Structure formats: C-alpha cells, structure tokens
Structure 1
Amino acid sequence: MNTPVQLGPPQLVLFLVAVLGVGLLISSLMGLFGGRRELEEFEDEYGQRYRRWRKRRRELRWRRGASGIIMLILAVSLLWLTFAVQSYLGLTNDIKVARVQATSFENAPHNMDLQLTMLDKDGNPTSTKSYQINGDLWRLECVMIKFPAWMNILGIHSSYKLTRLEGSYNDAKLESSSHHVVVELNGGAGDFFYQTYGNSLTKPFVDATYGNGVFEPADGKTYDIYVSQTGLYAKQASN
C-alpha cells in the first residue's frame, strides 16, 4: 500500500494552529472547572499554630467563567478551522499514479492494445508495459484505505494500491459470455488490506477500506489516472 504524506508550509501552519487550539481548550476547561486553594490555620493542644494550603474540590466557577467560555469558543473555532482547511487541502491534493493509452483494432473488434505506465508519488515513470486486452473498455482497479479526518492534520493521504487491469464489453451479452483478460498488478490487494478490512484493532485509525475502479473506452487517447482521498479518476492527458 502507498500512503502519501503531504507535508509543507500549509500543514505546518495548520499543525501549530491545532496545538494552539488544544492549549486554549485545556486552559478554558481548567478555568471553568478548576479547584481553588485556601490557607487554613490549626492549633495543637500546646498552643502551637500551623498553616497549610488546602485544595478544595473542583466546582463550576460561573463568576470567572465568562473568559473561560470565550476561550473555549475560540479553541473550538480554531480546531474546526484546522480540520476544514486540511480536509480541503487533502481533497484537492490529488496524486497522478498512472497513464493509460488503449487502441482498438479495426480488423479485430472487441480487442485492444493497451500501454500502462506506472508513476511514483512525484509523477515520474517507474515502468511501462503493453497488454493485449479483450473488450471495448479498459478498467483499472485499486484498493483504498481511508483514514479519519483528524489524521488529515498530519497531511496523511488515503492509502492506495493499484491491483488489477482488465477489459469489459459495451454489450451486456458479450460481457457475460466472452473471454476476459485480467492482469494482476503489484501482487493484488495483498495481506495488509485484508488484515485491515473489518479489523476492530485498526478501526480508530481507519475510516473505511474498499475497492475502486475507473474505466474509459479504447479510443487511442491517453488518460492520466489520479487518486483522490476517495478513489481513482481519469483525465485526458494534455500532452
């Protein structure tokens, strides 16, 4: 599984804002429910006096609560702003993971020559392979592990792994009766995905695990494949 971590000045600023928000939240709650200390005097049987500080039980301090409530509102607002901005950055920071070009044969209908280029996290090619695929459409599949929103503060993108390449037919009858070519990529889904799927131990750190796919016609055009926080999508390449 690939788990991109998108770190940069925006994430650093948001992290500092989140720390400030948590500090204000703790301070405001302590101000509202803080205990107080009182100086008490004691005298023993010999007439000797002693003093000690005694901490009274915690109670809601309404008279001093106005400033605490203002700080509480400010802290919650900062945390909400941090999550909202980081979620936006995460949803708009998509990663290009592959490039596909498929061309159908005029003299052999429902067949295509497909070239798949795999890309690293920086968009650089890592491998290019050609496949003979049956069908009118090509389909590229992946598995996804989506993390909860609070982990977005750290710039953690959803985990993904490209797992399968195959073709499909426009005609439903051909789809059910014709030969299919399925190419496994990167060793398939792998043990990590299946161990994470439905595992109660990883539930606090995993929002969802699922499969996803994108398909396009074998029209000879080149498509760039992107992974977002929710899955794959294809865009016609500009170059």
Structure 2
Amino acid sequence: MFWWWWIAPTAVAVIGVIILFAGLGSLFKGKLFGGFFGTVGGAALLGLALSAALLGQNVQTYQRLTYERPVATLSIRQLAPQYFEVVVAQPAAGDLPARTAVYPVNGDEWRMEAQVLKWKPWANVVGLDSQYRLDRLSGRYQNIEQERTGARSVHALSGGDDNGGVLEYVPWNLSVWDVARKYRRYIDAVDTLYGSAAYMPMANGATYEVWITQSGLIARPTNDAARAASAGGFIRVN
C-alpha cells in the first residue's frame, strides 16, 4: 500500500509531463488549439499527481505513527484471594514460534513491563516501528500499605528477535537495545530508549491483550470479566 501511493502519482505525473511537452511543442509549431488543450491538460495531470502524492504521504504518516501490534494475551484464573494464575501467550515474532507460559501472581492487578526502543517520527514514516523486549510480569496491590508488605511475585519474560520487532540478545551477546544505547549519538533515527509498563485488574476468567505502539505498551480488556474489572478502560504507565 505504501508503494501504491507513490507509483500511481508518479505514473500520472509522467503522463502529464508527456502531454504538457507535446502541448508546448504544438504551440511552438503554431497549432494553437491543440497546443492550448495539451498544455492545460498536462498541467492539470501534474497538479493531480502532486495532490495525490501529498495525500498519500499524509495517510502514510498517520498510519505509521499510529501503528500498533499485539505482543501478548493474558488469561487469568483466580486460585485464592489476591492470588491468581496468569497464562501469557506471546505471538510468533520473526523466526521465533508462538510461546505460552503460566505464572502465579499475587495482588489485585497484573503488570507487564518492557524495554522499548522508540524511533523518531521520520523513521516511523519510512517503516521503522518501535522495537521492544518484554521484561517481566509482576503482581500489584491497589492498597499502598499492602504493596509494601504483601506477598510479591515477579517473573522474567523471554523476548524475541529483532526481525519481529522484538529486542533480544543474539549469540554474541549483542542486541539492538545495547547498540542503540551505546551509539545513539551516532544513530540519528533513535528517539529514546526507555521502560514502559501496562497494568490491569485481575479477575477470575478475565482476558486481556497487550499491544506495542510507537510510544510504548497499552493493555485492553477483551471479555466481559475483564471489562467489568477495569470499568471498560485501560491503564498505562511509562
């Protein structure tokens, strides 16, 4: 779709140039009627091609800057008060297959964290999307005092590969995250490297989806139990 917005206007522009020069040639040869309409028609096609190209660039810019994709699905089952079983399913990323793991989580809410490499807007427009490394899953209490003293649960989440937009270490212990962090002064396309997290209430039978956007993680409820627990909204913190 991205190339279509450039191929079509370019083709129209080429035709417009041919007609325009043909019209100008006719004018110089004294063929006023044909030369006039040829010149006007060619100029009109050029204007149409320019307008289409600008519209295409606008659409492409909006699509790339608002692009998002799912990175995990969470299914929750309550085992006891403030104690849940969370099934985390990660879709296939690059060469890595889809993965599913089960984690015990204490608290009232689950929290998923990731490391995010955010590109500058111009890099998004040309096709570079935010990359991420899922870092950890933990429990969170709504009561501050209980957060200080309650049972804790923190689990490491495995990542994927760079081809899938996931930051992960390669065999020689090098990653996009590490390279961008170390050499970011030389990589003009990198905007920032930061931690992002999304959290939602846990409830028996609730399911959620976690998405990566150009600016970080967001979480969305996907069934009635989750929507009832979260009042239909989402909570996000960077």
| Bigger fraction of residues in helix | 2
Give the equivalent residue in structure 2 for 1:206.
Answer: 190
Fraction of identical pairs, as percent: 26
Instruction: String of CA shifts for 1:34-78, please: whole Å, max 9, x gaps.
Output: xxxxxxxxxxxxxxxxxxxxxxxxxxxxxxxxxxxxx9xx97x88
Matched, 1:178 2:150: yes
Give the equivalent residue in structure 1 for 2:2.
Answer: 11
> What stretches of structure 1 of length at least 5 have no aligned partner?
1-9, 21-70
Whether the 8 Å contact between 1:134 and 1:180 is mirrored in structure 2 is yes
Change beyond 3 A, Cα 1:209–1:167? same
Letter in 2 for 1:97: V
Give the equivalent residue in structure 1 for 2:162.
Answer: none
Q: How many residues align?
A: 175
Cα displacement (A) at 1:112 = 1.2
Change beyond 3 A, Cα 1:121–1:92? farther
Letter in 1 for 2:115: V
Change beyond 3 A, Cα 1:151–1:13? farther
CA distance in 2, matches of 1:213, 1:18: 42
Give the equivalent residue in structure 2 for 1:168.
Answer: 140
Whether the 8 Å contact between 1:117 and 1:126 is mirrored in structure 2 is yes
Give the equivalent residue in structure 1 for 2:84.
Answer: 112
Change beyond 3 A, Cα 1:182–1:176? same
Letter in 1 for 2:104: Q
CA distance in 1, matches of 2:82, 2:7: 56
SS at match of 2:199: strand
Letter in 2 for 1:151: A
Cα displacement (A) at 1:178 = 2.5
CA distance in 1, matches of 2:145, 2:9: 56
Whether the 8 Å contact between 1:11 and 1:154 is mirrored in structure 2 is no
Change beyond 3 A, Cα 1:148–1:226? same
The 5 A counterparts of 1:1-239 are 10-16=1-7, 81=55, 83-106=57-80, 109-121=81-93, 126-186=98-158, 191-197=175-181, 199-202=184-187, 204-220=188-204, 221-237=206-222
Whether the 8 Å contact between 1:86 and 1:152 is mirrored in structure 2 is no
Cα displacement (A) at 1:238 = 5.4
Cα displacement (A) at 1:196 = 1.8
Of stretches 91-100 and 129-138 in structure 1, the one that deviates more from structure 2 is: 91-100
CA distance in 1, matches of 2:152, 2:200: 16
CA distance in 2, matches of 1:152, 1:81: 17
SS at match of 2:142: coil
Structure 1 or 2, whichever has the larger Rg, is 1
CA distance in 2, matches of 1:209, 1:197: 7
Change beyond 3 A, Cα 1:148–1:141? same
Whether the 8 Å contact between 2:5 and 2:52 is mirrored in structure 1 is no
Whether the 8 Å contact between 1:114 and 1:130 is mirrored in structure 2 is yes
- With the length of structure 1 as denominator, give the TM-score of the two structures: 0.61
Instruction: String of CA shifts for 1:157-189, please: whole Å, max 9, x gaps.
Output: 111221111111111011122232211112697
Whether the 8 Å contact between 2:119 and 2:189 is mirrored in structure 1 is yes
Identify which of structures 1 and 2 has the higher relative contact order when contacts are C-alpha pairs closer than 8 Å and 6+ apart. Answer: 1
- With the length of structure 2 as denominator, give the TM-score of the two structures: 0.61
Instruction: String of CA shifts for 1:190-238, please: whole Å, max 9, x gaps.
Output: 5532442373112x11112211111111113111121111111122225
CA root-mean-square deviation: 3.4
